[in-house]
Structure 1
Amino acid sequence: MALTVYQNIMSLNSQRHLGSSQTALATSIERLSSGLRINHAADDASGLAISEKLRGQITGLKRAAMNAQDGISMLQTAEGALEEVSSMLQRMRELAVQASNGVYTSNDRIEIQKEVEQLKGEIDRISSATEFNTKKLLNGDGTALWSASSSKIKAIIRDEVDEGNYRINLETIPGSNEIYKTDIMTLKDGAIGSEIVDGTNDTNIGSVNNASQLASTGTSYYTVTVGDLTAAQSATISLTGSYLQTGSSFSVAAAGYSNSAATSSGYIEVVFEDNVSANGTTSAQIRYIDALTGYISEWEEVDVTALNGTVSLTAADTTNLMNSAGQSLGFDLQLSLGVNGKIQNGDKVLLSFSGANAAPAGSVASSGGGTVQISGGPTGQAGPTLKFTSPSSLTAKDNGDNFVDTQAKTVYYASINAQTGNVDFGNMTINFKENNNATESNGETVLGDLSLKISGSGEAAATTTKLKDIAVFEDSDGNNLFSNKQELTVWGNGTSAVIYLEADDTIADFETKLTDAIVNKLGMGSTNNNVNSHLVDYVSIPTTSGGIQSVAGTFIIQTALTGEQGQVAFSGDEELINGLSLNKIQSAVNNTTKVTVYDAHSGQLVGTDETGNDRVFGIIGGVEIALDSRAGVTESWDTSKNQVIFSTNSAAAKEDYFLHIVDNSTDLQIGANSGQTLAVSIPQLDVTGLGLNNITLVSQDLAQAAIPDIDAAISQVVSVRATIGAQVNRLEHTIANLQTAEENMTAAESRIRDLDMAEEMSTFTRYQMLGQAGVSMLAQANQIPQMALQLLQ
C-alpha cells in the first residue's frame, strides 16, 4: 500500500462509515424520542398512507361514539318530557272518568275543566319549550317545517316527511252543524213582553220594550203608526170605546173640543153615576189621562142632561178638566139613547183626543219628528195621535260611529174593556234608530207602521223581555236567579268564552252576547253576516210550516261550522243550566272530503284520499293534513226553512291550496363515513297533535266522549316513547360497536406506526457503538499520514 499525504483513503472510508452510523443513530434517537416508527413519509411511505387512513377512521369512530352519546342525551331529554306528558294525560283521563259521573253539577265540572285546561296548557308549553341545544324536540319543528297558502289547511307532523311543494284540491260533500234548543221562556206572573212581529215593520223603530199594564194580544196585534206633520192641525176628539151594563143602551152621537188649541194628547174617561132615561138630569165623573206623560188628573164631577133621548155633556160642564199643562179640556159629548135607551150607574165612555200643532216649516219627519199612534190590539180601539214637532224629537242623526244608537220615547195607551168596564192604562217604550238625513242637521224619521205583539204571564217571552221576568229563572219561593250576575261559559274550537248575564238584560241582549261569543271570541262564525245574525235566534213568532223555529219562546243556538269542529258546550251555575235546559236537536256530522294532492311544480299526481273527519294521513309522507270544515263549503241562511244551510262551494272546489314542506329531521352521524346516519323524527306532540284541543268535560256526555280521545293520545305518546326507547337502546349498541371498531383499528394503526422500543434500543445501541468505533478508527486513520514524516527523518 502506498503511503500518501494528499489523499487519506482510510480516513475518507472511516468518515463515510461514521456518517452512516451517525445518520442511523439520529433516526433511532428520533424514533425513541417520539415513540413512533414513522416520523416522516420517508420512514415508510406506504405505511404512512395506511396509517393516516386508519387514523381518520379512528378519530371518526371516536366522534361518532360521542355523537351517539349526544343523540342518547337528546332522546332522553325528549323522553323525559314525554314522561310528564304521559302523567298529565293519565290525570286528564282520571278527570274525564270523574266528570262522567252523574253526581256532579255543572259548577263542579267547571272546576274539573279548569284543571283540564291547565293540563292542556302545560302540554302545549312542554311541546314548545322542550329543546336540546336550542333545537325544538316535541312541536314538530325538529322533524319538519311547513307553511300553507290558506288558514283552511294545516299540517300536523307525524314522521319523517317527504319534503316538497304540494298543490291540494278539495271536493266536499257538506255535513251538518250541531243545533241546540232551550227550554220555553215564558213570562212570570205580572210580567209583560212586547215584540215587533217579523216582516211588519216599515219604520225606523228598532224595538218596543218596557211594556206595562197592556192586555195580551194573541194574534190581534197592536198597530203602531208613525206619521208626518205638514200643516197646522186643531185638536180632535174621537170615541175610543164604551162600557154598557146589562140593560143599558146608548151610542156616542158626537164629541168635540171647545178648546181646539189644546196641545196635549190623551184620554178622557167618563163614568156615569146615576141612571138616565129619555129626560132628566144626573151627574158623571170625568178625568184626564195624558198619553205622553202618564199624568192622570183628579176626578171632576159634572152635570149630565138628558133631553128627548139625547144625553149631553157641554163644554161649560167640563171646562174645569185640565191637562198636565194647565190647559182646559172642555169638551162636548152627546150620547143617543134611541128608543127605550138607558144609561145606568157605572156605564163608561172612553174618549181619545189628539192635541193641536202649529204650522211647521215643512215636513216634520224630515227633521226627525213625526207622529205616533197606537191602535188595534185585542179591543181594536185606537188611541190619540201623539205629535213630536221638534227636530230630532223622535229620530237622531247618525253620529257615524259603529253602533246603532236609539232614542227612546215612552207612550201611554188606554183601552176600555167592553165586558168588565175596566179601563186598562199601560205604557211602552218605543226606540227609534238613528237615521241619516243629508239635507238636515237632524235625523229623518221613516214613516210607516208595524205590528206589535204583547204577551202576558205564562206566554212566550218577547225579545224585549228582561231575564228577571222569565219564569224558568225564578223558583217557587220567588227567588230570582238573576238577583246576582250570572256567568255562562261557552266552549268550542279549543277555547272558551264567558258572557255575563244580568237581571235587566233582555232576551235580545242575551242573543247579542251569545252571538258575539260564538262568532268573535270562539271564531265559529261565518264570513256571511246574515248567517252570523242567525246563529243565535230567539223564536218570538213561530213558523207555521214546521222546522226548528216552530216553538215560540225557545232559543236556537248553532255555529257556522259543520261536524266536530262546530261542537259547542255550555257551563255555568247549575240553576242557569237547568233553566236553559239545552237540548240537542241536531247532531254534528262531519263533511266528506275528497283530497287530491299534486306536485306543485310538475303537476304530477301524488295521491288522493277521501276523509270523513277532516284529516288525511298517508298522501304526503309523514304529514297529516288537517282541514277547516269551512274549506269547500259555503253556508247561507234559508229564509223559507229559517235554518243555516250548508252546500258545496263549487268555486272553492276549483280553488288550489298550496303546502310547502321542508325536512328538518335530526340525522345522527353514528359512523365514521358519509351516509352512516340514524334519522330521528319525533312527531308533533302538542294538544293539537294529540287530538285534544276540543276536549271539554263540562257535561256528562262530553266527559264520556272524551275518554276514548284521551286513550288515543296516551297510546300515541306511549308509542313515541317506545320508539325513543328503542332508539336509545340501538344507540347504546352503536356506541359499543364503535368502541370495538376503534380499538381494533387503533391496534392496527399502532402496529404500523408505533415504535417497538426494545427493538429500537438494540438498534440504537448498535449504532451508538458503531459511532464510537467509527470515531476511534477515524482518529487512527488520521494518524497514518504522520508515518510519512518518519521516512523524512
Structure 2
Amino acid sequence: MIIAHNINALNANNRLKKNMENTSKAMGRLSSGLRIEKASDDSAGLAISEKMRGQIRGLEMASRNIQDGVSLVQTADGGLGEILDPALQRMRELALQASNGTLTDEDRENLQAEFEQMGNLVDNIANNTEFNGIKLLASQQVSSITNNTLSKPALKNIDWSYVNDGNNFTAKDIAYDGTGKYVAIGVSGGVNQIMYSSDAVNWNTSAYNPLPSDVIYGNGVFVATGAFSGHFGTDGGIIYSTDGVNWSNSINTSPPIDLKCFGTTTNSITFDGSKFVATGYSSDEGLWKTLTSTNGVDWSVYSNPDKIDCIAFGGGKYVGQGYGKIYTSTDGINWTCHNSTGAIGYSEDAVLCEGGRHFVVGEANGRILESNDGVNWNTSNVSNDSTKFTSIAYDGNQYLAIGNTGIGGKTVIYNSDDGVNWSLQKELSANGSIGTSKIIWDGKEFVAADKDGFSLGIPEYENASSSSKNDSQPLTISLQVGANCGDTMGITLCDVRTSSIGISAINIKTRDNAEDAISSIDKAMAIVSSHRSRMGAYQNALGHTLNNVESYNLNLTSSESRIRDADMAKEMINVVNGNVLLQATESILSQANQQSQRILQLLKE
C-alpha cells in the first residue's frame, strides 16, 4: 500500500472528466438539435454543410426572384391584353364603320375623335405599364448615350473555347429552350444523331438516329423536321420531344398526307410565339405543303403554291424564300410575293430573323441579304472568297454569322454591329468544311457548331458611358433563377406604342384611309398578339423553373440535415448512458479517496 500517490483516485477522476465531457456534448446536441455545433465536432462535415447552406439560401432567393419574374410577365401580359381589347379591337370596329359607303365625311370626323382617343389609350397603357419602375411595353434597347445620340458599346473580344463532346458529333442545327436544355441534330461518326445537353458542354446521345434537317423549340416541345429514316419507317417527316431525349413520330395531320414530303433539304420550320409553321415538298403528291401546329402533334395542312421552302418569323411577320423570290405573311399560310432577292438557288438557302432584321443566307457565296421590313432587301458582300453563310445569331449588340469556305476549307465566323457591315471574327475548324453550320445565342454565350464538337463564345464589351440621362430600360432583362453565377433567364420586353406597331399616323377621315387603317390595325394586332404569346411562354417556363428550384432546395435541405442535425434518440441514449457512468465514477472516486483513511487506521493500531 502506498500513500504518496492515490492512483485509483486519479484514474477514477480522469474517467469522471471524460464522462462529464461526453454527457455535456450529448446534452448540448439535445438542446441545439445539431450534431455539429463547432468545427471540432466534424471539420469535414462542417465544410460540406456550409457549402450546402450557401446553395440552400441561394435557392430560396432564386425562388423569390422567379416569383418576381412571374409577376413582371403577368403585368406585361395584362397590359398587352388591354391594348388588344378594347383599344385595338375598338379601333378596328371604328375603321370598319368608317369604310362603309353610307357615311359622310362629317360622320367620319365624329368617328375620328373616338379613334384618336383609342390610339392615345394604346400609348397610355404602353407608357405606363411598369414593374418596379421598369417600362414593360415601351422598352427600347439603349446601351449608351453620347450627346443624346444612341450608341452601342464596342465589342472588345469574344472569348472562344472548344468543347469536344467525345462523340465526334458535328451539329447542323441547334435549339435551346431558354431554361437550360439544348438539342442538336447532326452526324456522329458518319451516323445521323440527335444530342442533348443541359450546359452546352456535356452532351448525351439520344436513342434515335433519324436524319432531321431543322429543329426548333416552342410551347414546351422540341420539333424536328426532315426526320426520315428506316428507324421511323415511311412517315418520319416530323418528330417531337418534350425533353429532347425521348422522341416520337406519332402525329396527326388534317387532312392526312404522307410526311415523306419533308425531305432533308426542301423543308423549313419556324415558331411565332404561339404556333409552329412548317413547309415542305410532297414527293408522292408532287405538291408543296404548309403545316401549322400549336403542340407539335396535331398539324393542319395547307397548300403551298408558291413553293416556299425557307421561312422564319420575326418583327411580327413571317418571311419566306423560294426559287429566288421573297414572300411575307401575317399568318404563315397566305403569302405575298415580292421582288427577287438575288439569291441564285433555293434548296440550300435559309431565311433568318434576328435582332429585328431579316436575312437570307445560303448559296450566294460570300454574301448576306438583309432587310428591315422583309420587303426591301440589300446585299452585303461579306467576304471575297467562297464562304457560304448558313446561320446568324444576335446577342443584343452584335450579329454573328457562321459559314464555311467549301470542301477542304474552314469554318469561319463574321461579326457586325448593324447587320450590314461585317468583319472576320474567328476561324474555327481548319480541318475541312463541316457543311451546314449553326450558331445561337442562349442569353449567356454564343454556341456554334464546330467540327466534332462545339465552340462557345462569351462576348466582352467596352464599358459604356452616358453624358445625359435616359429613362428607357433595356430590351432584355436577366432574371437570376438559380443559386450560382450564370443561372439566369432572359426576358425580352417589347415596344407596343403606336409608333412602334405602325398605327401612329393612320386615320379614318376618308373611306380610303379607313380601309388602309384596317390593314394597319390587323398587322398591329398580330404584333401585339405575338408579344402576348411570348409572355405566356415566359410564364410557363418560369413556372417549370420554379418547380425545379423548389424541388432542388428540398432535396439539398434534406441532405444538409443528414450531415448537421442531431439524432435526438441517439443523443438521449448517450445522455442516459453518461449519467449512469457519472454516478458510477463518482462512487468509485469516493471509495478510492477512502484508501488513505485505511492506512491511517493501520498506523493508529
- TM-score, reference length from structure 1: 0.35
For the pair shown, which has the larger CA radius of gyration, 1 or 2?
1
Tell me: higher relative CO, structure 1 or 2? Use CA pairs within 8 A at least 6 residues apart: 1
Report the TM-score when normalising by structure 2.
Answer: 0.45
